[in-house]
Structure 1
Amino acid sequence: MTTTSAPASKPPTHQVSSRVSQSVFDGSRLRVVLLVDVHDGAQQQFLEAYEQLCNQVASVPGHVSDQLCQSIENPSQWLITSEWESAPPFLAWVNSEEHVQMVEPLHSCVRDTRSLRFHVVRETGGPAEATPSKRRLQASPRIGDGVIRHALTFTVKPGSEAAVARILADYASPEPRVDDTTRLCRTSLFMHGNRVVRTIEVRGDLLAALRHVARQPEVRAVEEAINPHLEQNRDLDDPESARVFFTRAALPAVHHVTAQQEDPRAERHALYYPARPRCGMRLAELLARQDEAAAGSPYSPVLRSTIFQRDDVVVRLIDVLGGLDAADPALALGLPDTGPAAELTTLLDDVGTNAGADTPLTRLLGLVRMEFVTDRRSPEA
C-alpha cells in the first residue's frame, strides 16, 4: 500500500547555505503553477472536473488557496495556481496514490500540462505585510548551477534482477542534444534488491528531455525488453498506461548541495534508505540537514549530494572523493554525529534494526549501498 509521508515538523531556522542549489526544507511558502492545454470543446468538462478536484484539495493539510485562470487570447489555455504553507506537504500530496486517482478525470480533457513549483522569496501588498512573522519567506536566494535533477524508480520481479541489470547496462546512449536550449548531462542507474533507480541530470527543460529520451529507438528497445520483468504492468503504446506508470515512478529531488568543484577522482554512488511508514519526508530532511552542514567541512569526502524522496523511498546520490570503500562510513552516510545516526535508525524500515550493534555504521552502509549499473555522461556536460 502506498502511504503519504508526514510533512516536516519544524522549518529550519538557520540561514540558507550559498552552496545549496536546491532544497524544499527551508519552510518557505510554496507557489505551484500548472499550465494546462485543454482539448477544443472540452472547456466545460475541464471546468467541472476542476471544481470537483478543488473541493478535495481544500482538505489536504498544508493547502492554502488556489485559482483557476483562462487565457484571454486562447480559450484552450488555462492556468491553475495554488499556494501551500511549505513544499513538504505539497510534495507529500502530489506524489501520493491519492493524487494519482484524484486528477484522473482531468486527463481525458487535456492535451498537455506543465507543473512549475516556486518558493516565495519576496512579496508586496496584501495582509502579509502586516504580519511579517507569519510570512515565512525564503531568507535568501539559492545559488543554482543550471542543472535540473530528477529520478525514476520502479521494482522488478524477484529473480529477474541480474537480467534487468544486464539490459539496463548494455544499450547505446541517446543523443544528448534535445533542442537549442536543452541537453542531457548525465544518467546514472543503480539497483537495490529488485528496486531500480535511474537518476537524470538535464540543462534546460526536464519534460522536453524526458520526452526526447522516450522517443529514442535505443531507449525504447530497453524499455520494451524490461517490460516482462516489471512488477507493475505497463503498455508504452497506451498513453494513459505510460502516463500512470511514469507518474508513480517519479522520484523528485528534494535537496542538492555541492561542496566543492568536480574532481576526476570522485566516484558516483547511491544509497537507498527505506523509511518506516509515513517517515520518508522526515528521513529525507534529516539527511538534507546533515549534508548541508557537512558541505563546508574539509574532512567530508562527499563532494556533492542529491536526495530524492517519494513516499517512503529515500535515495541519496553522492559523488565521493576516493570512492566509497575508502571513506569513513559515518561521513559517507551523511551522519557525522551520533545523535543523527541514532535518529536515522529509528526512521529506517527493517534495515536499521538489522544493523550490527558492534559496528552499526559500517554494517548500515553495506545494507543501504546500491549496486552500480551504469553512469553515462554527455561529452558536452
Structure 2
Amino acid sequence: MTTLSEPQVQQRSASEDSRLRVVLMLEIQDGAQQRFLDVYEQLRHQVASVPGHVSDQLCQSIEDPRQWLITSEWDDQHSFLTWVDSPAHREMVKPMHGCVSDRFRSMRYSILRETSAAHGATGSRPPVEVPAGTPRPAGRPGMPQAVPGPDGVVRHALTFTVKPGSERKVAEILSGYASPKAEVDENTRLLRTSLFMHGNRVVRAVEVVGDLGAALRHVAMQPEVRAVEEAINPHLEEHRELGNPEAARAFFARAALPAVHQAVPATPPRGNLRRHALLYPVRPGHGAAVAELLAAQDRAALADPTGPVAASTVFQREDGVVRLVDLRVPAEDHPAAALGVAGEREAAELARLLDLRPEVDLRTVAGMGRALAHCDMHPLTDRSSQVS
C-alpha cells in the first residue's frame, strides 16, 4: 500500500510486467500514532480492492517508535501507477496527511527473483517456510484479492449506480438472467450470486470457493451474463467498457466493495434462511466505525446457534457500507437483528454514526422498523449456480 502522493515516474521500464514492490518510509507525528493506526485500518481494506494489489504490510521500528514502514506488492507497475495517479487515490489518502510528518520516502522495485516454499530456492538462501493454510493471492492483474471466511468461502461485492428513471428497466434486466455454470476449474467454484437495488444503486454480492479473480473472469465470459451487462450499459450513470481491458480494470476499481468483516459459522447454517442486504446512510467519515460496530454485534449474535442471525458479511469502502445478513426469522419480526442493533447502547452509537431522520429512534421498535424500511435493499436475484 502507498499513502502519500508524489511526482510520478512517467516512463515505464523494461521490467514493467514484473511484480512491483513499493516501500514507503514514514515518520508519525507525536501523539498521532493511534489516529494513524485507525486511518491505516480503514485504508488497507480500501486498497485491497484496487485492481492489481496483492498484499501489504505495516511495520514499526523496534529502535524508534516514530519510524514506520509500509510495504506493498502489486501485480505490475501499470496497476500501481494507474491507481496512485488517480483522483480516487488522492481522496483516499487525505486522512493520512494529518498523522505523518513531511519526512517520508517512497521507493519502487521490480521483483525479479523470489524464494518461497512454493517456488523453491531462487537465490543462495534456503527456501522460506510458509505456514500451512496461508492464503495465496491469485496473482492476476486487475482482479481483487480477498481472504476466505471461516467456512472457506471468498465474498466480494460490486456496486454501481444507474440513471434516475431507469431503475424499473434495470431491475427487470437483472432479474431475468440465467445462472452461469458453477465449475470454473478444478480449484474454483462459484457458489452464489445475490443482486439488490436501493433507489438507483445496484449491489452484486458473490460467494466463491477458490480463486475470486478466476471466478469473476469466468462469469464475465458467459454469454447470458454478457448479454445482461450489455443491456444495462446504456442505463449506467458512469460509462463502462468491459470488453476493453483497461476500461474494465478501471470499472472494477471503482465498483469494488470488499468484505471487511465476516461473521459466518465454519459450517453452513441450516434451515430456511432469509437473505437481506442493508445499505446504511453513513455520516461522512464514519464508514469504518459503522462497519466495525455492525460486525461486533453480529459476531456476538452468532454465538447463539439458534438465534435470528445465521450469518452476515459487512462490505465497506469509504462511507459505503452494505451488510448482507442471513436471518432465521422474518426481518419485520426481529428488526433489531435485521439492522444489527444489539441493545440501547449499541443503538445510540449506531444512530450517532448514521444520518437518520429525526423521527427514527433506534431505541424503539417503531424506530427500528422505520430504519429497516429505509435501509433494506430490494432483492433482484439470489441464485446458487448450477454444477455442470
| TM bucket, shorter chain | 0.5 to 0.7
Alignment of 1:194-273 (within 5 A): 194-259=200-265, 261-273=268-280
* Residue 334 of structure 1: how far off its partner (Å): 1.1
Partner residue in 2 for 1:23:
none
Q: Please give the per-residue CA displacement for 1:187-241, whole angstroms capped at 9, x wherever unaligned.
A: 0001111110000001111111111111111111111101111111122233222
Contact kept in structure 1, 2:39 and 2:95, CA below 8 Å:
no
Letter in 2 for 1:309: Q
Partner residue in 2 for 1:293:
300
After TM superposition, the structure 1 stretch with the greater mean CA deviation from structure 2, 302-311 or 64-73, is: 64-73
* Residue 300 of structure 1: how far off its partner (Å): 3.0
Contact kept in structure 2, 1:253 and 1:306, CA below 8 Å:
yes
Matched, 1:34 2:73: yes
Contact kept in structure 2, 1:32 and 1:116, CA below 8 Å:
no
Give, in whole Å, the separation in 2 of the partners of 1:298 and 1:215. Answer: 39
Contact kept in structure 1, 2:146 and 2:156, CA below 8 Å:
no
* Residue 264 of structure 1: how far off its partner (Å): 3.0
Contact kept in structure 2, 1:300 and 1:331, CA below 8 Å:
no
Partner residue in 2 for 1:84:
none
Matched, 1:186 2:226: no
Give, in whole Å, the separation in 1 of the partners of 2:80 and 2:245. Answer: 23
Partner residue in 1 for 2:320:
313
Give, in whole Å, the separation in 1 of the partners of 2:108 and 2:349. Answer: 42
Give, in whole Å, the separation in 2 of the partners of 1:250 and 1:49. Answer: 16
Q: Please give the per-residue CA displacement for 1:95-118, whole angstroms capped at 9, x wherever unaligned.
A: xxxxxxxxxxxxxxxx93566578
Residue 339 of structure 1: SS of its match in structure 2?
helix
Partner residue in 1 for 2:141:
112
TM-score by length of structure 2 reads 0.65
* Residue 321 of structure 1: how far off its partner (Å): 0.5
Residue 355 of structure 1: SS of its match in structure 2?
coil
Residue 196 of structure 1: SS of its match in structure 2?
strand
Q: Percent identity?
A: 48
Alignment of 1:322-341 (within 5 A): 322-326=329-333, 328-341=334-347
Alignment CA distance shift 1:47-1:189 (3 Å): closer
Give, in whole Å, the separation in 1 of the partners of 2:294 and 2:200. Answer: 24
TM-score by length of structure 1 reads 0.66
* Residue 70 of structure 1: how far off its partner (Å): 3.5
Which of 360, 375, 381 does residue 382 from structure 2 map onto? 375
Letter in 2 for 1:364: A
Alignment CA distance shift 1:36-1:262 (3 Å): same
Alignment length (residue pairs): 292
Letter in 1 for 2:289: R
Residue 199 of structure 1: SS of its match in structure 2?
strand
* Residue 38 of structure 1: how far off its partner (Å): 6.2
Alignment CA distance shift 1:369-1:242 (3 Å): same
Give, in whole Å, the separation in 2 of the partners of 1:48 and 1:264. Answer: 48
